[in-house]
Amino acid sequence: MTERVYDWPDHYGDFQWFIEDRFGLFIHWGLYALPARHEWVMTKEKIHPEQYKKYMDRFNPDLFNAREWAVNAKKAGMKYAVLTTKHHEGFAMWDSDATDYKVTNSPYGKDIVREFADAFRAEGIKIGFYHSLIDWHHPEFTIDGLHSLRENEEEKAKKREFDQYVQYLHQQVHELLTSYGKIDYLWFDFSYPDRDWDWSKGKGAKDWKAEELEALILKLQPHIILNNRLDLNRGVYTPEQYQPKRSIKKDGLDIVWEACQTLNGSWGYDRDELHWKSPEMVIKMLIDTVSKNGNLLLNIGPTARGEWDLKSMEIMERISEWMKYHESSIYGAGESEFPSPPDCRLTQKDQTIYLHIFSWPFRTIHLSELAGKIEYVQFLHDHSEVKFYEYMESDIHHHNVPVVEDGEVVLEIPVIKPDVLVPVIEIKLK
C-alpha cells in the first residue's frame, strides 16, 4: 500500500498516534448541564452573566465518577478523550488562579479537570483539553453578535479592554498545560473572523494573538497536537455535524482530520433534545470516517449529577459490543487503495482489507481489481471462512451462476445477515 504524505506543521507534535487511534470521546460538561437546554443556553436565552451565575451556586455533580467514565470509554474502544475545560459560558472546570468563576468555588468544590486527567490516563486513554476562545462571562471580552449581551445597550456602551481578556486566555492555557501532566491534544473552539454584524465583527487569530499562544503551548508541551480552530490554517481539521464526502486532501497531500459528532442534536446535556442517532448509525459514521482516512470524536454531554444519560449509555454499550469484534478494522486503518462495492465501506491496513457491509445483499458481493490478489477471506466477528471465486471454471454461464467480470472477485455470503450491527469481512492480500 502506498505511503501517505500529510500536510502537517513541522513544529507541531507527532500526529502518528492520532491517526492510529482513530476513535475519541468528546465530553461537553459545564454549568449548562443544569439548565439542560444546550450548551449555548446562555446566549440563546440572552442571560446576563450575573443571572447565569445562579448555576454555579447549584453545580454539585454528586454522582460524578471519573473512573466510571474512563472505564466506559475504554470499553467502547475510545483511545483519547477531550474534555471541555471551559466552554463559551466562561466557567473554569479546574482550580484556576485567574478567576473566582470556577468549579472549586461551586458546591462541588473539586477540580474536575484533575479528576478527568487522572482517571482517563490511568485507563491508558490519551488526554485532550477543549478550551473555548469565546467567553461570554469575562467582563473584558468584547460584546459581539454571538454574545449573550448582544442586545443589551447599557452593557454594549461600556468600554472593554479585550487585551486584558487575551492575557487571561493565555494565562489559563498556561495553567492547563503546566498543572495536569502530559496533555496530548489541545482543542480550541472557535474563531469566526468572517462574521460581521455591522456594529461588531467576529474574532480570529489576530484577536487571540494566536501565533503567540501557539508558541507558548508548544514551548510548554512540545509533543502536543492542536486542532485548526485558532484560525492559523493548520492543525487537525475538525468538520462537525456532517460526514465529509471523501478523504480530505490539500495540494495532493493528506489532511489530518476528525469528524466531531453528537449522539443527539446537542453537545451539552439537553434533556428534551430527542434526535438520537441509532447505535447502527453511529457505528457506520465511525466506519465511514476511517474509510476516508479520518478520526471520529464522539460526544457525550453528561448531566448535572455527573452521569451519562441512559440513551447515551445504551449507544455506548452497542458500540462496545461491535468494537469488541471489529476494532482491528478501525485502529491503524485508513482509506483503501481499492474501490468499494455498493453499500459498503472499505478500510485497509497494510495487506489487509476490511469490507464493512452497510446493507446486506443477497448471496454475492463483487470486488473489483482484486483478481489474483487475495489469499484468504473470513468474517471478522467469528473468523468463519468466506468462500470466493475469481473466474468461471466452466465456459457455460448457467442461469443461476453470477457472471464474473474481468479482474473481479466474487464473495459467496450467507443469505442471513450475521447477528452484528455492521458485518465486516476481512480480506487478506497475498
Alpha-carbon distance of 292 to 288, in angstroms, equals 6
179: left (phi > 0), else alpha (psi -120 to 50), else beta? alpha
- The residue (of 187 and 388) whose beta carbon lies closer to ligand FHN is 187
State the minimum distance, in angstroms, from the CB of residue 183 to ligand FHN.
Answer: 18
- The residue (of 237 and 379) whose beta carbon lies closer to ligand FHN is 237
Residues 43-62 that bind ligand FHN (CB under 6 A): none
Alpha-carbon distance of 161 to 337, in angstroms, equals 53
Among 21, 39, 184, 307, binds ligand FHN (CB under 6 A): 39
State the minimum distance, in angstroms, from the CB of residue 415 to ligand FHN.
Answer: 42
State the minimum distance, in angstroms, from the CB of residue 69 to ligand FHN.
Answer: 18
Q: Please, what is the end-to-end C-alpha distance for the chain in angstroms?
A: 12
Alpha-carbon distance of 81 to 59, in angstroms, equals 23
- The residue (of 129 and 322) whose beta carbon lies closer to ligand FHN is 129
- The residue (of 40 and 257) whose beta carbon lies closer to ligand FHN is 40
User: Is residue 240 a contact point for ligand FHN (CB under 6 A)?
Assistant: yes
Residues 262-281 that bind ligand FHN (CB under 6 A): 267
Contact by Cβ (8 Å): 84, 30: yes
> How large is the angle between the packed helices 279-291 and 310-326, nearest 10 degrees?
50
- The residue (of 38 and 345) whose beta carbon lies closer to ligand FHN is 38
State the minimum distance, in angstroms, from the CB of residue 47 to ligand FHN.
Answer: 15
Distances (CA, A) of 60 to 13, 49, 57, 137: 36, 19, 9, 20
- The residue (of 40 and 59) whose beta carbon lies closer to ligand FHN is 40
User: Is residue 144 a contact point for ligand FHN (CB under 6 A)?
Assistant: no
User: Is residue 89 a contact point for ligand FHN (CB under 6 A)?
Assistant: no
Among 135, 144, 184, 189, binds ligand FHN (CB under 6 A): 189
State the minimum distance, in angstroms, from the CB of residue 217 to ligand FHN.
Answer: 19
State the minimum distance, in angstroms, from the CB of residue 370 to ligand FHN.
Answer: 38
Contact by Cβ (8 Å): 111, 64: no
Evaluated on CA atoms 327, 29, 186, 102, the torsion sign reads negative
State the minimum distance, in angstroms, from the CB of residue 375 to ligand FHN.
Answer: 42
State the minimum distance, in angstroms, from the CB of residue 135 to ligand FHN.
Answer: 12
Alpha-carbon distance of 176 to 168, in angstroms, equals 12
User: Is residue 260 a contact point for ligand FHN (CB under 6 A)?
Assistant: yes
- Cell output for 416: 442471513
State the minimum distance, in angstroms, from the CB of residue 24 to ligand FHN.
Answer: 12
User: Is residue 226 a contact point for ligand FHN (CB under 6 A)?
Assistant: no
- The residue (of 304 and 353) whose beta carbon lies closer to ligand FHN is 304
- The residue (of 28 and 79) whose beta carbon lies closer to ligand FHN is 28
- The residue (of 192 and 322) whose beta carbon lies closer to ligand FHN is 192
Alpha-carbon distance of 20 to 110, in angstroms, equals 34
State the minimum distance, in angstroms, from the CB of residue 298 to ligand FHN.
Answer: 12
Q: How many residues bind ligand FHN (CB under 6 A)?
A: 8
Among 180, 190, 237, 354, binds ligand FHN (CB under 6 A): 190
Positions touching ligand FHN (CB under 6 A) are 28, 39-40, 189-190, 240, 260, 267
